[in-house]
Amino acid sequence: MSIPIKSAAQIEGMRLAGRLASEVLDMLTPHMRAGVTTLEIDRLAHDHMVHVQGGVPATLGYGPPGYPPYPASLCSSLNDVVCHGIPDERPLKNGDIVNIDVTVIKDGWHGDNSRMYIVGETSIAARRLCQITFEAMWKGIVRVKPGARLGDIGHAIQAYAEHAGYSVVREFCGHGVGARFHEEPQVLHYGRPGTLEELVPGMIFTIEPMINAGKRDIKEDRKGNRPYDGWTIVTRDRSLSAQWEHTVLVTDSGYEVLTVSAGSPPPPAFAAAGYNQTPAAVLQQPAAALAAT
């Protein structure tokens, strides 16, 4: 396996792309309310990426071998959708939970991130799933440092999620990111500590656990006579699923989260002590994604 190591100049490009990707999610936060369609959310994001940021939506037209070209500028995964949900004309409803996954290409570099949004008032169970998934992502992030192993990240996420009574999707994982959308390494969200590749400064990859309220099994989304769209994945038992995603750089002494902006939800208390990339005023803000109405 050849894992790209970014130079100082390349890291600067990734910082910009990461911040822009996070700012798209900031921009969308007030629009995540009942009655708005995910197709409208997609249009807002596309216009912002292209006309305001001067970037390119990485998902639009993206089609690795075996997949049809993806038809939208973001992924919108609603309730029991695990990942890769395609925006459509169905309006959001009070109580929905939805993951919005955005990747911006700026000057050839990819910034990749996602957040969960709660629409109006939802159940305590749904809110807890979103929060535990957010914390599980951070349990993985804080394990990032030179000399650590990819298995340390996966083990931390799996242990935290399963202790809370949830399951971890295994068919999808985090990935290296840079000049290409998907690079080495693959970042599993489960596993054994002390295993897999060693982390070295200059590596950049996503950590993006998908956590199910029920069993971890997934399937293609086929409802009635509707054909599979080639992308949408749902929980097999139709339980709720949640996902959060950051792009992370391995630094000389630890990690740097690249997908941060003024509206980024602050890290949980266990991570905040070692998190110095965001101004204190931002860290004191409420988690906008969890408060979206």
Q: What is the pLDDT of residue 281?
A: 31
Q: What is the pLDDT of residue 291?
A: 36
Q: How many CA atoms lie within 13 A of 39 on its CB side?
A: 5
Report in angstroms the alpha-carbon separations of 31 from 16, 57, 94, 190, 203.
Answer: 24, 19, 13, 34, 34
pLDDT digits over 246-264, tens only? 999 999 999 999 999 999 9
Sorted by where each begins, the domain ranges of the chain are: 8-291
pTM, entire model: 0.92
Backbone angles phi, psi at 40, to 5 degrees: -70, -40
Q: What is the pLDDT of residue 227?
A: 76
CA–CA distance, 204 with 178 (Å, rounded to integer):
7
Question: Tens digit of pLDDT per residue, the chain (293 long)?
Answer: 699 999 999 999 999 999 999 999 999 999 999 999 999 999 999 999 999 999 999 999 999 998 999 999 999 999 999 999 999 999 999 999 999 999 999 999 999 999 999 999 999 999 999 999 999 999 999 999 999 999 999 999 999 999 999 999 999 999 999 999 999 999 999 999 999 999 999 999 999 999 999 999 999 998 766 678 999 999 999 999 999 999 999 999 999 999 999 999 999 999 976 654 533 333 333 333 343 32
DSSP letters, 79-140, are: TTEEE-PPP-SPBP-TT-EEEEEEEEEETTEEEEEEEEEE-SS--HHHHHHHHHHHHHHHHH
Tokens encoding 278: 């965001």
Query: What is the residue-averaged pLDDT of the chain?
Result: 92
CA–CA distance, 82 with 133 (Å, rounded to integer):
12
Residues 6+ apart with CB under 8 A from 238: 80, 214
CATH 3.30.1370.60 fits 8-291, yes or no: no
Closest listed residue to residue 100, CA positions, set 68, 128, 141, 130: 130
